[in-house]
Structure 1
Amino acid sequence: MRWRIVIFLFIGMVINFADKMVAGYAAVPIMEEFNLSYTQWGLLSSSFFWLFMISGIFGSALSDRIGTRNLLTIMLLAWSVIQSGAFLVTGVFGLIIMRVALGAFEGPYSPTSNNHLSKWFKPERLSFAISLVNAGSAVGGLICAPLLVLGIQELGWRQTFGVLGAISLVWVVLWLWLGKEKTVSENAGATEVKTMPVPKLKWSETYPVLLSRPFVMVCLMLFSTYWVLVWTQSFLPAYLVKAVHLTPTEMGNFSSILGAAYIVLMILIAWYSDRLFQKHNSLRKARVMVAGIGAILSGVLFYSMTIFTNPVYILIAMILAKAMVHAVFILWVPIALSLLPERKGLILGVGTGCAQFAGVVGPVVTGFIVQFAGTNEALGFDYSILFMGSQLVLAGLVFTLLCKPDVYVRKTVHHSEEVSAG
């Protein structure tokens, strides 16, 4: 049963990716239709994230109450309705409203799906399971990128949005039929056990964890790495066409190769991290060091893209950088769950919300940076890449040096035992 759940959540991630990326692939026709500048396009792109962060926090916390299965159903149904609303859009204001609404209902998906997976997999196998689900975004790049580009060229961007809405509706129907909320014990075969009731939230016990050094370091890493994801969603297609000088078809093929290649590396990194955890039983060695060093190397690779501009080199650098960046989105989950296991949905939602804040400011800042270079668009994109790489290097260094979740967990457990004994 648990692998069926993985498949469902994987497909949901593919849809989630396509919903986010379709506007980016339609950037050129939308900008032409509504006569938008890069700064205005950055504002439109950021509108997707205006409620994305808030809904990610409160929505995933709500999943602790109403159940992850129910919340996933509500989200996918909302995606279907909202994407179909593209046929009603007659101006940029309507498109902004549509993207804001879509972002609000997509915000909780990642933390809620991770929460759902944690009910089915033990900690030493959780990262691998999450990597398989997160691979949906990479497969989305492989499968959806050329299809979305083709759909936009042949059908129009509104019709392509509508097709995505219909796919979400099909997912909901099958999920209601086959999806389950109950957990399955790893060693119990098909024996089902009921999920333990969620303890009542005590803010006095929760906020120290959210303000602890390990979790603050996690949030810093998530912000810097999510900036890369947002840049990829909003500006990579335009960068490949305007700066690298690829045709729209070549751009779609580039995205497909990128998605096919980095997905393999990302899964290998998650598998390697699980093996390290099984060997050392150390979050710092298995999760922190792998994620932190990967972020630093990713930043260096982005720096190099401003020096070596050959499309083949850029493709290789993007594959390696994206694999290590996306590994962070996998490896932070076991760290966060160890800090507050009683309220998985809450801490995953807060961490995801901190990451998604990059989606609010990232497109606007990037649009301003690109436009700051004037008519030299390639230089503007290089500035945005240097800025992005600097964030990765700085966050990776701080995270690697200061994040020590094992020490924090041991101190917390020791303190709790002292309080109980007293």
Structure 2
Amino acid sequence: MKGFRWLIMSLIFFAYILNFMDRSALSYVIEPLQKEFGLNNAEFGILYSAFGVSYLVMTIVGGLLVDRLGSRKILTLFSALWSIVSGMMAIASGFFSILLIRIALGVAEGPAFPSLTRVCADWLPHQERARALAISLAAIPLASVIGAPFISSLIVAFGWQLMFIALAILGLIWSTVWYLIFRDHPQQSRFVSAEELHHIQENMPRTKKHIPLQAFLKYLSHQPQLITAYLAYFCLGYLLSFSVSWWPGYLNQTFQLDLKHIGWILCIPWLCVTVAILLGGSLSDKIWEKTQCIVKARFNLIIFCNICAGLAFIPLVLTHSLSIAITSISLGLAFGLMPIAPFYAINSDLASEYAGTSQGLMSSCLGIASFIAPALTGYLTQHSGNFNQAIIVIIILLFLAALGIQLEKNKK
């Protein structure tokens, strides 16, 4: 993978590691915030939901902004903003100040993923998109693997306030580098060689003239493939939101493990997810290169992964063996999140002129899942006394997503 475009994708990879560490850092300071401000678990639930609501709104708005203003301006501005907002946690004085900070963080991080899709649509030909998206999106599980020891070490060494300041400084450094070297189109960059520019333009799909948003919405109303992909992405988002929020609680309540052991055990499934996301993107691109068919390269892979993930989670409701549970979680998460790059590539493939807007709509489905999954899981586990019903919901959603795409994948 030679060329300046891959340096750009590497920068995005590091941006999303910082992005996910910033949004998840609150979960590592629950105990000190409880002691210092007297917060309870119900209040922490409100804080998590506040981020999800503002994030949901801004994924849509962010998609519109990035299509209009470009990824250079939007990512520079909002990465700097989310870094500053994260750093403001160091001066938080109680529940309401943290609530405002979490709302602002959701606003600042909302445009991030639509910007990634816009970069792929502007810089990469079809056969490289899913692979590039996979590399960038592998930052999601890696942020969970790296974030736990990194953030915990910062807290132990310097305190929770300085931990947030350190994350803010890293984000501001990234924002500066992005502004200095990135341009919205490869032909605008002095770092892109003539050979690389020829490769990009030669393999770039022909795009139409920029059209009004109303035209995109009209186009979308006649695209059952794209609409079904949005709904299926909700199911992926539900699984991801459940995993970030509840797997530690599942292991603690089901097997009585302490947090120290849970942290190390959960490294196993998240490492599997990292490999799976990279494999999913690469496999999707290879299928595209051979077939030039979106259905085979994107939709069939998503169907296969969802079915395998649903099957992998079934043992969790049938057995109480820790080793089987870890294997099941690892396989289920790996297959369930493996098609995340093909999902993103679908926006560039089917709506290239409005890739950012399309990704904003798709990401809004994840945003909806981000506050439904934790709340519904809490309700089900409280009333049933175990996680069986909550896991069955995940299994059903995965199978429904596979069925829906199978029924609609060939419709245009």
For residues 376-387 of structure 1, the aligned pairs below 5 Å read: 376=385, 379=386, 381-387=387-393
Q: 1:251 aligns with which of 262, 266, 274?
A: 262
Is 1:90 aligned with 2:93?
yes
1:54 maps onto 2:64 in alignment? no
Among 7, 11, 22, the residue aligned to 2:14: 11
Cα offset for 1:141? 2.0
Q: How far apart are the structure 2 equivalents of 1:352 and 1:52?
A: 9
**2:328 aligned with 1:317, yes or no?**
yes
Query: SS in structure 1 opposite 2:319?
Result: coil
Residue equivalent to 2:40 = 36
Q: Report the secondary structure of 1:309's partner residue.
A: coil
> Are the equivalent residues in 2 in contact too, given 1:127–1:274 (CA < 8 A)?
yes
| CA deviation profile, 1:241-284 (whole Å, cap 9, x unmatched) | 34333332222222333332221122112212212122222111
Greater CA deviation, 184-193 or 12-21?
A: 184-193
Task: Say yes or no: does 1:80 pair with 2:86.
Answer: no
Alignment equivalent of 1:398, drawn from 390, 398, 404: 404
Further displaced range: 197-206 or 314-323: 197-206
Shift of 1:2: 0.7
In structure 2, do the counterparts of structure 1 residues 218 and 115 end up closer, same or farther at CA, with 3 Å as the change threshold?
same
Aligned to 2:357: 346
Aligned residue among 361, 372, 376 for 1:365: 376
Counterpart of 2:396, as a letter, is S
CA distance in 2, matches of 1:162, 1:239: 32
> By how many angstroms is 1:168 displaced?
0.7
Percent identity of the aligned residues?
23
Partner residue of 2:150?
A: 147
Which amino acid is 1:216 matched to? Answer: I
Aligned partner of 1:121 in structure 2 is 124
Contact map agreement 1:209 1:339 (CA 8 A) in 2: no
Query: Which amino acid is 1:300 matched to?
Result: L
**Structure 1 letter corresponding to 2:137:** N
For 2:362 and 2:306, how far apart are their aligned partners in 1? Answer: 17
Secondary structure of the residue that 1:181 maps to in structure 2? coil
Structure 1: which amino acid aligns with 2:146?
A: I
Gaps of 5+ in 1: 409-422
Q: Partner residue of 2:113? A: 110
Change (3 A) 1:188 1:304: farther
Paired letter, 2:10: I
**CA contact 2:19–2:109 (8 Å) conserved in 1:** yes
Pairing 1:182–2:185 present: yes
- Do the aligned residues in 2 keep the contact of 1:146 with 1:249 (CA within 8 Å)? no
Which amino acid in the other structure matches residue 320 of structure 2? T
Gaps of 5+ in 2: none
Contact 1:64–1:198, Cα closer than 8 Å, also in 2:
no
Does structure 2 retain, via aligned residues, the 8 Å contact 1:222–1:328?
no
Distance 2:130 2:303 in 1: 16
Deviation at 1:177, TM superposition (A): 2.6
User: Partner of 2:394 in structure 1?
Assistant: 388
1:140-175, Cα deviation, whole Å (9 max, x unpaired): 122212222344455544443332212111211222
Cα distance change of structure 1 residues 242 and 94 upon mapping to structure 2, 3 Å threshold: farther
Q: CA deviation at 1:226?
A: 0.3
Deviation by residue 1:14-72 (Cα, 9 ceiling, x = unmatched): 111212222234445556764424x5543332211111111111112211221101111
In the superposition, relative to structure 1, how do residues 403 and 25 fare at CA in structure 2: closer, same or farther (>3 Å)? farther
Please give the TM-score of this superposition, normalised by the length of structure 2: 0.88
**Mapped partners of 2:173, 2:78: distance in 1:** 13
TM alignment of 1:288-299, pairs within 5 A: 288-299=299-310
Q: How many residues align?
A: 400
TM-score, normalising length: structure 1: 0.86
For residues 256-275 of structure 1, the aligned pairs below 5 Å read 256-275=267-286
One-letter identity of the residue aligned with 2:11? F
Q: Structure 1 18/403 Cα, relative in aligned 2: closer, same or farther at 3 Å?
A: same
Q: How has the CA–CA distance of structure 1 residues 367 and 97 changed in structure 2, closer, same or farther, with 3 Å as cutoff?
A: farther
> Cα deviation per residue 1:292-346 (whole Å; 9 max; x = unaligned)?
2211221232232233333333332222222222233211223223332222211
Residue type of the partner of 1:356? G
**Residue 2 (structure 1) aligned to one of 2, 5, 12:** 5
1:137 aligned partner: 140
Aligned equivalents of 2:27, 2:312: Cα separation in 1? 23
Instruction: Determine the structure 1 residue equivalent to 2:317.
Output: 306
Greater alpha carbon shift after TM alignment, 181-190 vs 126-135:
181-190
State the AA in 2 paired with 1:245: Q
| Shift in Å, 1:358 | 1.0
Corresponding position: 1:226 with 2:237: yes
The verdict on how the C-alpha distance between 1:31 and 1:329 changes in structure 2, with shifts beyond 3 A counting, is farther
Measured against aligned partners, the alpha-carbon deviations of 1:63-90 in whole angstroms (never above 9, x if no partner) come to 1221101111111101111111112222
User: Aligned to 2:52, what secondary structure does the other structure show?
Assistant: coil
CA gap of 1:5–1:309, structure 2 versus 1, over 3 A, is: farther
Q: CA deviation at 1:102?
A: 0.6
One-letter amino acid matched to 1:370? T
Q: Is the 8 A contact 2:66 2:114 kept in 1?
A: no
Tell me, yes or no, if the aligned pair for 1:270 and 1:330 is still in contact at 8 Å. yes
2:172 to 164, 169, 174: 169
Q: 1:82, 1:98 within 8 Å by CA — same for their partners in 2?
A: yes
After alignment, is 76-85 or 349-358 more displaced? Answer: 349-358
